[in-house]
Structure 1
Amino acid sequence: MAESSPVNGTGDITHYIAIDFGTSGCGIAVWNTKIRSSSMGDDPDIYTNPKWVPGTKGTAVKCPTVLLLDHNGEFEAFGLKALQNYQNSKRSLRHPKEADNYYLFTRFKMYLYNEKHLSRNLMIKAANGKELPAHVVFTKSLKEIKEVILQQLEEQIGGFTKKVQWILTVPAIWGPASKQIMREAATEAGLGVEDGSTLELVLEPEAAALYCQREILNVEAKDGEVTSHYLVVDCGGGTLDMAAHKLTKTKDGEVFIEEIHQAHGGPYGGFIVNDEFEKLLENLFQLSHTDLNEVKQKYPRQWTKVIQEDFELSKYSVDSSTQTITVILPGKIRGFVESKTGKTMEELTSEYKRHDVEWDDEDEGVVLNFSTINSLFSPVIAQIIMAIKDVLQKPECHCIKKILMVGGFSESNLLFSEVKKAFSPTLTVEKSSTPSLSVLKGAVIFALHKNIIKSRKMHQAIGIETWDDFIPSFHDESKKVSAGGKDFCKNIFTKFVEINESVSTNNSIKYEFTPATEDQGTCKIRIIGSRDDRALYTDENCCYEIGQMTIEDLPKSESGVSREVEIGLNVSGTEFTVNAFSKGTSKELRAKLDCVKDRYS
Structure 2
Amino acid sequence: LINGFYNDWVSERFIFVLCFSAREQLRKARHSRTFLVESGTGEFWSEMQTGDRYIVADCGGGTVDLTVHQIEQPQGTLKELYKASGGPYGAVGVDLAFEAMLCQIFGEDFIDSFKAKRPAAWVDLTIAFEARKRTATPGRSNGLNISLPFSFIDYYKRHRGQSVETALRKSNMNIVKWSSQGMLRLTAEAMNELFQPTINNIIKHIEELMKKQEVQGVRFLFLVGGFAESPMLQQAVQNALGQTCRIIIPQDVGLTILKGAVLFGLDPTVVRVRRCPLTYGVGVLNRFVEGRHPRDKLLVKEGREWCTDILDRFVSVDQSVALGEVVRRSYTPARTGQRKIIINIYCSATDDVVYISDPGVRKCGAITLDLPEALPGTVAGVERREIRATMQFGDTEIKVMAVDVASERTVRATIDFLSN
* Same-fold status (TM-score > 0.5): yes
Instruction: Tell me: CA distance 1:276–1:222, structure 2 relative to 1, closer, same or farther (3 Å).
Output: closer
Residue 405 (structure 2) pairs with residue 583 (structure 1): yes
Residue 257 (structure 2) pairs with residue 439 (structure 1): yes
Q: Which amino acid aligns with 2:411?
A: L
Q: Which amino acid aligns with 1:226?
A: T
Instruction: Tell me: CA distance 1:401–1:500, structure 2 relative to 1, closer, same or farther (3 Å).
Output: same
Distance 1:314 1:405 in 2: 22
Question: Of 186, 207, 216, which residue of structure 2 is paired with 1:389?
Answer: 207
Question: Of 536, 559, 567, which residue of structure 1 is paired with 2:389?
Answer: 567
Within-5 A mapping of 1:199-598: 203-208=21-26, 210=28, 214-216=33-35, 220-221=45-46, 226-250=50-74, 254-285=75-106, 287-288=107-108, 290-307=109-126, 309-322=127-140, 323-362=142-181, 364-472=182-290, 475-553=293-371, 556=374, 558=378, 563-569=385-391, 572-575=394-397, 578-596=400-418
The match for 2:8 is: none
Structure 1 residue 344: Cα displacement? 1.5
Percent sequence identity is: 25
Q: Which amino acid aligns with 1:497?
A: V
Segments of structure 1 that go 5 or more residues without pairing to the other structure are: 1-174, 180-200
Q: Which has the larger radius of gyration?
A: 2
Stretches of 4+ aligned residues off by more than 6 angstroms: none
Structure 1 residue 574: Cα displacement? 4.4
Distance 1:472 1:209 in 2: 57
Distance 1:343 1:249 in 2: 68
Distance 2:25 2:46 in 1: 21
Per-residue Cα deviation, 1:491-521 (whole angstroms, up to 9, x for no partner): 1211111121100121233322211111211
Per-residue Cα deviation, 1:25-50 (whole angstroms, up to 9, x for no partner): xxxxxxxxxxxxxxxxxxxxxxxxxx
Distance 2:45 2:406 in 1: 50
The match for 2:3 is: none
Structure 1 residue 569: Cα displacement? 4.6
Distance 1:211 1:375 in 2: 40
Structure 1 residue 479: Cα displacement? 2.1
Structure 1 residue 480: Cα displacement? 2.3
Instruction: Tell me: CA distance 1:334–1:209, structure 2 relative to 1, closer, same or farther (3 Å).
Output: farther
Structure 1 residue 471: Cα displacement? 4.5
Instruction: Tell me: CA distance 1:202–1:392, structure 2 relative to 1, closer, same or farther (3 Å).
Output: closer
Structure 1 residue 226: Cα displacement? 2.4
Distance 2:44 2:231 in 1: 26
**Residue pair 1:319, 1:414 contacting (<8 A) in 2 also:** yes
Distance 1:244 1:578 in 2: 30
Structure 1 residue 550: Cα displacement? 1.9
Q: Which amino acid aligns with 1:343?
A: Q
**Residue pair 2:283, 2:311 contacting (<8 A) in 1 also:** yes
Structure 1 residue 464: Cα displacement? 1.1
Distance 2:390 2:197 in 1: 44
**Residue pair 2:67, 2:83 contacting (<8 A) in 1 also:** yes
Per-residue Cα deviation, 1:341-378 (whole angstroms, up to 9, x for no partner): 2221221222222212111242x320101110011011
Distance 1:237 1:211 in 2: 27
Calculate the TM-score normalised by the size of structure 1.
Answer: 0.61
Structure 1 residue 296: Cα displacement? 1.3
Per-residue Cα deviation, 1:559-593 (whole angstroms, up to 9, x for no partner): 59872223345564445555433333334322233
Q: Which amino acid aligns with 1:333?
A: F
Distance 2:393 2:297 in 1: 28
Distance 1:480 1:415 in 2: 56
Distance 1:209 1:399 in 2: 20
Residue correspondences, number: 393
Distance 1:590 1:291 in 2: 59
The SS at the match of 1:277 is helix
Per-residue Cα deviation, 1:356-411 (whole angstroms, up to 9, x for no partner): 2111242x320101110011011111111111122111100012111100000000
The SS at the match of 1:333 is helix
**Residue pair 1:408, 1:435 contacting (<8 A) in 2 also:** yes
Instruction: Tell me: CA distance 1:325–1:575, structure 2 relative to 1, closer, same or farther (3 Å).
Output: farther
RMSD between aligned residues = 2.8
Instruction: Tell me: CA distance 1:396–1:501, structure 2 relative to 1, closer, same or farther (3 Å).
Output: same
**Residue pair 1:518, 1:556 contacting (<8 A) in 2 also:** no
Distance 1:581 1:241 in 2: 40
Structure 1 residue 553: Cα displacement? 2.4
Calculate the TM-score normalised by the size of structure 2.
Answer: 0.85
Structure 1 residue 418: Cα displacement? 0.6
**Residue pair 2:337, 2:373 contacting (<8 A) in 1 also:** no
Structure 1 residue 202: Cα displacement? 6.0
Distance 2:218 2:396 in 1: 23
Instruction: Tell me: CA distance 1:448–1:204, structure 2 relative to 1, closer, same or farther (3 Å).
Output: closer
Segments of structure 2 that go 5 or more residues without pairing to the other structure are: 1-15, 38-42
Structure 1 residue 264: Cα displacement? 0.3
